[in-house]
A and B are shown apart, each in its own frame.
Chain A
């Protein structure tokens, strides 16, 4: 068993990066991810890793340098949040379209305006369609474990795609929690050697990266990108199973909590799942058959598997820590697509919560569950989309 420590999410992820020892990292400060790369910079300057750091002048250049470094042929990582991810937006598509296995912890934070440094999922959801794999983590342990697994997933020869490991800004990144580390040697062994595919540094076999492709083949390239995404779930499952063998910690595409016999369910990602589980326990004691589904892999989204896991419930509340203004919450849209595959069609509501770091408190979960009980009884949804935890 690895060492048990009390650390923040950022500290745990920085340590994971030290254990993995990437060849190149790019870094640019942004709250709340700053602390992660700052700690990693300490490892670099103390000679604890072989990594060459590129301390760039913007996140756009951070991702551009990562793309150059990854195409050169080595293991690459960076980290960011919020506006930083927004500034990278253009390059995120290019990293994915070029099939470069870059690993990026994303410390989820609200997007401006108004300026806000606290946690919500607006940044990650904004990057939903970029072609990156996205894993969301409930706590520091998951963020640490997912970071280690991310390298294996991204670098898998069936995949070769960039990956974001998401954790909630401040709530996870800056809270001290119990984390069980994996031994350095075990991490090294688990992650293995980086295998370069068509590296720019192969001077004998010069490659051109980043061609112009117009109407004759672009469509086919995009289909190929879609197809490689369909291979990701199996790789995540294999890597997670191997990780479970090493650590005893089990991960799947999503987590089910008291869902097997549930009549009503909440779907929520990341740290809010923890609070929700506690409240579910309280309702279970009162005899309410409620369960939870927590997606871990948001991209690609496991539609069929989630549809299967939720098909027996009567009503579902999807909690989104992000909004698509004038549309539905992004997680809701995915779950609604799952429901469309079911013969039974459970009622689904969408609650927008916790924007800009607004605390998700037990009374919000209770409000949602009380409403779900009503919906299950009546079969009627009064308001499909609603903001909860609002100060009136």
Chain B
């Protein structure tokens, strides 16, 4: 199949394979990610979905927003579940029971279902080499259950299980560097993307679909409920995350790191932190050290990425 041209005018006229009427919160980043992924390709797609915001809001009773075959089974097993679907497809094609149709297998899961409870299942499926793409929409906490800390929650954030209290000022650990951990699996394609850079995201999806084997895509998905921001700034915040290098856009293809888009000018991290209520306490004079530490971490990660890219 030839790669679909990514022209906005034509894309807008294309069929929406994730329909309107789902019950995600207004302004949520996750459905934008799903739409961009599905819009990037005309291949038939079968998706699994971990329990979470996207799942509970997209298939309720007799209503489904999914115009593609879709399966949710539990929280921690989106990867194992789709690995079963993919294996059945291979088996039936091999036996001549069904026709080869170039089906693409995708998992959607939040950061809780990916970084934490679903990590083993994900790691196992990647190691086994299934022809699948795992897409994490990372909003940095358990938003579905009410903004609890996950291992993707950034340093300093105020969540309901690590509240900014008088003794402990929010989350004191940095986030798990999952994208690099996935790259360490030695799988052919790993990338980080953002719905604000839609062209970059969709190109990555297109590229990944042409690669056989396991792929992992980590996508930032702003959550106005959990981030304590305005309803309409998901894309703005995703853009600032990129500009501050909090969420760099890169890919690791067969072990070679490439930064796919660099901000013209690396903005200070406070630009990303300031508009978000979850970081408000960090701007109190006694917590200045938190801003320093958060900036140092982002700088170190960015330097490391630049070094990786230079190493080829």
Interface size on A, residues (CB 8 A): 43
B91 touching A51, Cβ below 8 Å:
yes
**Interface residues in A50-77 (C-beta closer than 8 Å to B):** 50-52, 54-58, 60-61, 64-74, 76
Residue A216, interface by CB 8 Å: yes
Residue A207, interface by CB 8 Å: yes
Residue A209, interface by CB 8 Å: yes
B84 touching A65, Cβ below 8 Å:
yes
Q: Mark A186-230, 1 if CB is under 8 A from B, else 0.
A: 000000000000001111001111111100110000000000000
A68 touching B59, Cβ below 8 Å:
no
**B94 CB to nearest chain A CB (Å):** 7
Which chain B residues lie closer than 8 Å to A210 at the CB level?
Answer: 49, 55, 59, 71-73
A68 touching B60, Cβ below 8 Å:
no
A58 touching B82, Cβ below 8 Å:
no
Residue B95, interface by CB 8 Å: yes
Q: Mark B13-42, 1 if CB is under 8 A from A, else 0.
A: 000000000000000000000000000000
**Interface residues in A356-383 (C-beta closer than 8 Å to B):** none
A52 touching B90, Cβ below 8 Å:
yes
**Interface residues in A18-53 (C-beta closer than 8 Å to B):** 23-24, 26, 50-52
Q: Mark B97-128, 1 if CB is under 8 A from A, else 0.
A: 11001010000000000000000110111011
**A74 CB to nearest chain B CB (Å):** 5
Residue B310, interface by CB 8 Å: no
Residue B87, interface by CB 8 Å: yes
Which chain A residues lie closer than 8 Å to B71 at the CB level?
Answer: 67-68, 71, 200, 208-210
Residue A83, interface by CB 8 Å: no
Residue with the greatest number of chain A CB neighbours at <10 A, chosen from B77, B84, B124: B84
Q: Which of B44, B49, B74 contacts A64 (CB 8 A)?
A: B74
**A129 CB to nearest chain B CB (Å):** 18
Which chain B residues lie closer than 8 Å to A67 at the CB level?
Answer: 71, 73, 81, 84
**In whole angstroms, what is the CA distance A24 to B95 when docked?**
12
Which chain A residues lie closer than 8 Å to B49 at the CB level?
Answer: 210
Residue A161, interface by CB 8 Å: no
Which chain B residues lie closer than 8 Å to A207 at the CB level?
Answer: 69-70
A65 touching B87, Cβ below 8 Å:
yes
B88 touching A60, Cβ below 8 Å:
no
Q: Which of B46, B84, B94 contacts A66 (CB 8 A)?
A: B84
A203 touching B69, Cβ below 8 Å:
yes
Which chain A residues lie closer than 8 Å to B94 at the CB level?
Answer: 50, 52
Residue B66, interface by CB 8 Å: yes
**In whole angstroms, what is the CA distance A54 to B124 when docked?**
10
**Contact count band on B:** 35 or more
**In whole angstroms, what is the CA distance A74 to B98 when docked?**
11
Total A-B pairs in contact (CB under 8 Å)? Answer: 163
**In whole angstroms, what is the CA distance A57 to B46 when docked?**
23
Residue A91, interface by CB 8 Å: yes
B69 touching A206, Cβ below 8 Å:
yes
Q: Which of A54, A68, A76, A203 contacts B73 (CB 8 A)?
A: A68
**In whole angstroms, what is the CA distance A91 to B81 when docked?**
11
Residue B83, interface by CB 8 Å: yes
With contact pairs A52-B94, A60-B121, A65-B87 given, residues A201 and B69 touching in the complex (Cβ less than 8 Å): yes
Which chain B residues lie closer than 8 Å to A52 at the CB level?
Answer: 87-88, 90-91, 94
**B54 CB to nearest chain A CB (Å):** 11
**A32 CB to nearest chain B CB (Å):** 23
Residue B92, interface by CB 8 Å: yes
Residue A252, interface by CB 8 Å: no
Closest A residue to B88 by beta carbon equals: A72
**In whole angstroms, what is the CA distance A363 to B52 when docked?**
56
**Interface residues in A159-205 (C-beta closer than 8 Å to B):** 200-203
Q: Mark B204-232, 1 if CB is under 8 A from A, else 0.
A: 00000000000000000000000000000
Residue A94, interface by CB 8 Å: yes
Q: Which of A50, A73, A208, A216 contacts B70 (CB 8 A)?
A: A208
A73 touching B88, Cβ below 8 Å:
yes
Residue A98, interface by CB 8 Å: yes
B89 touching A201, Cβ below 8 Å:
yes
**B185 CB to nearest chain A CB (Å):** 12
**Interface residues in A275-327 (C-beta closer than 8 Å to B):** none
A58 touching B124, Cβ below 8 Å:
yes
A50 touching B87, Cβ below 8 Å:
no
Which chain B residues lie closer than 8 Å to A158 at the CB level?
Answer: none
Which chain B residues lie closer than 8 Å to A69 at the CB level?
Answer: 84-85, 87-88
**B167 CB to nearest chain A CB (Å):** 36
B95 touching A50, Cβ below 8 Å:
yes
**A257 CB to nearest chain B CB (Å):** 41
**A7 CB to nearest chain B CB (Å):** 27
B128 touching A55, Cβ below 8 Å:
yes
Q: Mark A83-98, 1 if CB is under 8 A from B, else 0.
A: 0000000110010001
**B66 CB to nearest chain A CB (Å):** 5
B83 touching A65, Cβ below 8 Å:
yes
B89 touching A72, Cβ below 8 Å:
yes
Residue B80, interface by CB 8 Å: yes
Besides A69-B85, A71-B71, A213-B61, 12 other A-B contacts (C-beta < 8 A): A55-B128, A56-B80, A57-B120, A61-B77, A67-B81, A69-B87, A201-B46, A201-B69, A201-B85, A203-B103, A206-B68, A210-B73
Give me the 8 closest cross-chain CB pairs, A-B, nearest first: A68-B84, A57-B124, A210-B72, A72-B88, A65-B84, A64-B77, A64-B80, A61-B80
The residues of A with any CB-CB pair to B shorter than 8 Å are 23-24, 26, 50-52, 54-58, 60-61, 64-74, 76, 90-91, 94, 98, 200-203, 206-213, 216-217
8 contacts between A and B (CB under 8 A): A60-B77, A64-B73, A64-B80, A65-B83, A70-B84, A72-B84, A73-B88, A210-B59
